[in-house]
């Protein structure tokens, strides 16, 4: 890069060098000329003085003898001296005796000698008294011009001019040499600086040879640039890492939600232009939370990495597999027939996940629920497609998990309804509108009322009766179950305190507790606090846990159950037989009772194999010192069958439906020892 000549350092240096050399030479020359001029002037005066002496002596005789011719001859000898322009010889009376003049241009001698007359400008005048034998014979006046001096001046000036030119040339050369020595490295520095500031090229370097100040400056500059280059490289690497982190998931290295949104937007743009489809798969692992809770986050993380690997192996490189967070993944499938390709891919992914995963010493089987939404049929924006696929995934979970569910208009309507229900439920819980109903349970042998099971009831002002089968799963999915469960526990305990006085003997209350509630660190403390607040004897409280909680038994569950048992609270396993039964946990957990699910009771007497199974279950429970409760007994036949196989307790519409006013039943039971009045049956 070149700087404009006028402002350049080199230009200024050259001018400076030239100026310095010319001023110094001119000063020197001026001084020399002045000195020379003074010297020459003095020499001329000396010569004139000598000549005046000689001519004065030689012309003394001529004056004495009044020999004008001899005087003229003596004066004529002055012709040899080029600077003398006139010589005037005056007699003792002061009258002009003889005169000499070199050229016509020279002024004539004045006829009368004037003492004290000054020389005209440009001339030197010398007068001498002519003596003979000690007497004044006359006066000689010599006039010399300065022609010789002027001539010498001219020559000197020419020489000075030449010398000045020489000095300028030397100055110019010296300047350019200096420029090469100093300004070139400075220019190189400036050029490198420009590279850095304008083009951010930290790889620029300057030649730094030698050990002078500029070389050291260049060396320092190079070191600084090397440092800057290193830092720029580190910054670039750091930025790249940040960008990767911003767009990729740390755990699996897969694109994250943000990058997925970008890719999806791009895929939709391309599909719009080509008239193609885009299918979005929303994948959520089934039961991952339980793995995390029971085996710990480190195992959960390893499992997620393995799941990501399996999914990656099945997804085409042209499609995008992303992790949305937690146990949620998504796949974008583009193409002419993306709906079909998406379905095929989803089913293939489910197959890929089917074999058990090995994480450290654990063998884990995990499925996935997949929701699919397709552009342009279902939605046209990434946000819309994501919401629809998410909704479809939840529907797949509700349909029994480990399956693919494609979004449709009807599904959209049910999702909206569900969302609406969720909002309503939130309000209902906040306003305490969910009530507790109580269903009695009896001892089979004695027919005595032993407890009531508290069941949540929601009667919505416009929707009417909403079944717990509908709102309990929503409460569980949304986390509202904790608040709801707490309200139910408090209502049940408060209510149960009342029964004791009416019955005059112990009547328990059973409360259903969701796995999510039990997992909470504070659950046992909350139960203890409720018992304290309501004044209910802990032995009068039973907690019912569904099988899934215990099968996936996290360490937390075991601890919480032991702590509850220590409090004196009894525990029952609810809906036994509906989950993936794994009997090995039964002896390890402090259960007091086992409730056989209504689905078995309803098939008893119809399918002999069910009778046999229930029979075995009862023996098993008894061997483990657990009581058996038969749920959902609706007929006398069922009652006879469960009595025959040895069930200890019974619950069902035959003996009593859930009621909002259990005290009537308690009062009735005091007299008859059996709470099966006609009034209760009708409820
Ligand atoms: P569950 O704990 O197994 O409760 C028994 C269910 O069977 C109740 O249904 C009850 O009304 C019904 N039932 C009892 N006897 C008969 C019968 O003879 N015939 C028929 N058809 N049904 C009978 P409900 O009240 O609809 O509750 C359903 C489930 O919702 C409960 O099953 C329980 O798992 C859950 N649930 C209800 N309230 C709560 C609650 O407060 N907290 C929690 N976590 N879950 C609750
Ligand atoms: Mg129950
Ligand atoms: Mg049950």
Q: What is the pLDDT of residues 42-97, one digit of tens each?
A: 888 888 888 888 888 888 888 888 888 888 888 888 888 888 888 999 988 888 99
Question: Is residue 427 domain-shared with residue 396, that is, in the same domain?
Answer: no
Q: For residue 419, give Cα distances in angstroms to 48, 335, 413, 414, 452.
A: 134, 32, 10, 8, 33
- Please report whether residue 159 resides in a domain: no
Is residue 521 located within the same domain as residue 606? yes
Helix axes 409-430, 382-398, angle to 10 degrees: 80
pLDDT of residue 274: 96
Could you tell me the residue range of the domain that residue 582 belongs to?
A: 422-670
| Domain annotation covers residue 446 | yes
Q: What is the distance between the alpha carbons of residues 287 and 354, in angstroms, rounded to a whole number?
A: 14
Distance 288 CA to ligand 3 centre (A): 25
- Using the predicted structure, report yes or no on whether residue 409 has a pLDDT greater than 70: yes
User: Does 213 fall in a domain?
Assistant: no
Task: Starting from the CA of residue 474, give the closest ligand.
Answer: 1
Kindly report the CA angle at 148 between 146 and 149, in degrees rounded to 5? 65
Please tell me the distance between residue 237's alpha carbon and the centre of ligand 2 in angstroms: 59
Ligand 1 pocket mutation, candidates 478, 512, 630, criterion most atoms within 8 A of CB: 512
Element (H, E) at 326: none
pLDDT tens for each residue of 86-102: 899 998 888 899 988 88
Domain end call among 113, 131, 151 = 151
- In the prediction, which pLDDT does 582 show? 64
Residue 671 pLDDT level (bands cut at 50, 70, 90): low
- From the CA of 652, the nearest ligand is 1
Q: Nearest-CA neighbor of 136 among 115, 120, 119?
A: 115
- Cβ–Cβ under 8 Å, residues 675 and 666: yes
Residue whose C-alpha is closest to residue 320's, from 369, 379, 382, 391: 382
pLDDT at 602: 95
Q: How far is Cα 44 from Cα 606, in angstroms, rounded to an integer?
A: 162
CA distance 63 to 140: 11
Question: Domain holding 50: CATH number?
Answer: 3.30.450.20
- Which among 151, 167, 188 is the end of a domain? 151
Residue at a domain's end among 94, 117, 151 = 151
CA–CA separation, 285 and 366 (whole Å) = 7
Q: Check whether residue 584 and residue 547 sit in a common domain.
A: yes
Domain assignment present for 679: no
Domain total of the chain: 3
C-alpha to C-alpha distance for 258 and 105, rounded to whole angstroms: 111
* pLDDT at residue 683 tops 70: no
Tell me the CATH number at 483: 3.20.20.450
Which residue from 466, 472, 491, 600 has its CB within 8 A of the most atoms of ligand 1, so it is best to mutate? 472
645 pLDDT higher than 80: yes
Residue closest by Cα to atom 30 of ligand 1? 468
- Give me the mean pLDDT over the 147-158 stretch: 83
On whether both 442 and 402 belong to a single domain, the answer is no
Q: Distance (Å, rounded) from C-alpha 597 to C-alpha 576?
A: 5
Q: What is the pLDDT of residue 679?
A: 34
> What gap in Å lies between CA 22 and CA 543, rounded to an integer?
113
Q: Calculate the average pLDDT of the chain.
A: 88
Assigned domain for 413 exists? no
579 and 462 in one domain?
Answer: yes
Q: Which of 592, 548, 541, 547 is nearest to 569 (CA)?
A: 541
Does residue 226 sit within a domain? no
534 CA to centre of ligand 2 in angstroms: 22
pLDDT digits (tens, 9 = 90+) for 234-270: 998 999 888 888 899 999 999 999 999 999 999 999 9
329 and 456 together in one domain: no
Q: How far is the CA of 544 from the centre of ligand 3 (A)?
A: 8
Closest C-alpha among 598, 659, 654, 599 to residue 457: 659
Alpha-carbon distance of 8 to 14, in angstroms, equals: 10
Measured from CB, residues less than 6 Å from any atom of ligand 1 are 439, 455-456, 467-469, 472, 485, 488, 512-514, 544, 574-575, 598, 631-634, 651-653, 658
Atom 27 (ligand 1) nearest CA? 468
Please tell me whether residues 650 and 534 are part of one structural domain: yes
Burial of 328 from C-beta contacts in 10 A (0-12 / 13-18 / 19+): middle
* Cα(594)–Cα(647) distance, integer angstroms: 10
pLDDT at position 580: 57
**What tokens were used for 251?**
């755990």
Which of 183-192, 237-246, 290-299, 534-543 is the least confident region? 183-192
Mean pLDDT of 475-497: 96
Q: Within this chain, do residues 625 and 666 fall inside the same structural domain, yes or no? A: yes
Q: How far is the CA of 512 from the centre of ligand 3 (A)?
A: 9
Q: Is 655 exposed, middle or buried (0-12, 13-18, 19+ CB in 10 A)?
A: buried
Which residues, other chains included, contact 599 with Cβ-Cβ below 8 Å and sequence gap of 6+?
Answer: 577, 578, 632
Question: Distance between CA atoms of 365 and 291, rounded to whole angstroms?
Answer: 10
Q: Which residues pair with 451 in a beta bridge?
A: 441, 508
Do 255 and 395 have their domain in common?
yes
Q: Are residues 493 and 379 in the same domain?
A: no
Residue of minimum CA distance from atom 4 in ligand 1: 455
Do both 364 and 455 map to the same domain? Answer: no
Whether 217 maps to a domain, the answer reads: no
118 domain residue, yes or no: yes
- Same-domain pairing of 373 and 432: no
Between these two residues, 311 and 126, which has the higher pLDDT value? Answer: 311
Please report which confidence band the pLDDT of residue 632 belongs to, taking 50, 70 and 90 as the band edges. very high
- Which atom of ligand 1 sits closest to the CA of residue 597? 3
């Amino acid at each position: 890069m070149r700087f404009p000549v006028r402002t350049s350092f080199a230009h200024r240096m050259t001018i400076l060098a030239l100026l310095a050399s010319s001023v110094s030479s001119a000063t020197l020359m001026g001084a020399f000329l002045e000195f020379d001029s003074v010297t020459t002037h003095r020499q001329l005066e000396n010569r004139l003085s000598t000549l005046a002496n000689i001519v004065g002596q030689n012309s003394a005789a001529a004056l004495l003898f009044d020999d004008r011719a001899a005087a003229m001859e003596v004066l004529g000898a002055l012709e040899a001296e080029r600077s003398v322009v006139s010589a005037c010889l005056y007699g003792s009376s002061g009258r002009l005796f003889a005169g000499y003049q070199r050229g016509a241009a020279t002024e004539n001698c004045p006829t009368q000698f004037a003492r004290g007359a000054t020389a005209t400008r440009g001339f030197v005048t010398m007068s001498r008294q002519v003596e003979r034998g000690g007497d004044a014979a006359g006066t000689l006046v010599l006039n010399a011009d300065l022609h010789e001096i002027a001539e010498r001046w001219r020559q000197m000036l020419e020489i000075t001019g030449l010398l000045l030119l020489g000095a300028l040339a030397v100055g110019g050369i010296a300047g350019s040499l200096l420029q090469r020595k100093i300004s070139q490295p400075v220019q190189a520095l400036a050029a490198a600086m420009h590279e850095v500031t304008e083009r951010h090229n930290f790889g620029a370097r300057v030649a730094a040879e030698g050990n002078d100040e500029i070389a050291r400056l260049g060396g320092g500059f190079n070191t600084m640039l090397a440092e800057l280059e290193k830092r720029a490289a580190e910054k670039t690497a750091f930025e790249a890492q940040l960008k990767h982190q911003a767009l990729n998931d740390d755990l699996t290295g897969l694109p994250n939600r943000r990058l997925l949104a970008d890719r999806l937007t791009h895929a939709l743009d391309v599909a719009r232009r080509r008239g193609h489809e885009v299918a979005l798969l929303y994948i959520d692992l089934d039961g991952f939370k339980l793995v995390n809770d029971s085996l710990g986050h480190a195992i959960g993380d390893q499992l997620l990495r393995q799941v990501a690997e399996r999914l990656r192996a099945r997804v085409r490189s042209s499609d995008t597999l992303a992790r949305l967070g937690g146990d949620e993944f998504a796949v974008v499938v583009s193409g002419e027939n993306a709906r079909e390709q998406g379905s095929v891919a989803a089913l293939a992914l489910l197959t890929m996940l089917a074999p058990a995963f090995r994480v450290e010493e654990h063998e884990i089987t995990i499925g996935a629920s997949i929701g699919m939404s397709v552009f342009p049929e279902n939605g046209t924006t990434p946000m819309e497609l994501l919401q629809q696929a998410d909704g479809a995934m939840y529907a797949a979970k509700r349909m029994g998990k480990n399956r693919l569910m494609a979004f449709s208009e009807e599904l959209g309507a049910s999702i909206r309804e569900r969302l609406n229900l969720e909002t309503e439920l939130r309000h209902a819980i906040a306003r305490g509108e969910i009530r507790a109903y109580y269903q009695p349970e009896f001892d089979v042998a004695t027919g005595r009322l032993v407890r009531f099971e508290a069941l949540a009831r929601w009667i919505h002002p416009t929707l009417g009766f909403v079944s717990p089968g509908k709102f309990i799963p929503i409460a569980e999915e949304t986390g509202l179950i904790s608040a709801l469960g707490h309200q139910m526990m408090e209502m049940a305990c408060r209510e149960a305190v009342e029964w004791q006085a009416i019955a005059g003997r112990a009547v328990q209350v059973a409360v259903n507790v969701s796995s999510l509630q039990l997992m909470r660190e504070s659950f046992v403390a909350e139960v203890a606090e409720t018992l304290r607040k309501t004044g209910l004897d802990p032995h009068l409280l039973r907690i019912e846990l569904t099988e899934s909680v215990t099968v996936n038994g996290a360490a937390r569950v075991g601890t919480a159950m032991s702590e509850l048992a220590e409090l004196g609270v009894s525990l029952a396993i609810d809906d036994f037989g509906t989950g993936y039964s794994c009997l090995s946990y039964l002896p390890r957990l402090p259960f007091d009772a086992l409730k056989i699910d209504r689905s078995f009771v309803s098939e008893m007497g119809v399918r002999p194999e069910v009778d046999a199974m229930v029979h075995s279950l009862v023996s098993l429970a008894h061997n483990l010192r657990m009581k058996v409760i038969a749920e959902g007994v609706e007929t006398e036949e069922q009652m006879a069958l469960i009595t025959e196989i040895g069930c200890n307790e019974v619950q069902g519409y035959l003996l009593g439906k859930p009621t909002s006013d259990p005290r009537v039943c308690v009062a009735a039971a005091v007299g008859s020892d059996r709470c099966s009045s006609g009034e209760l049956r009708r409820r």
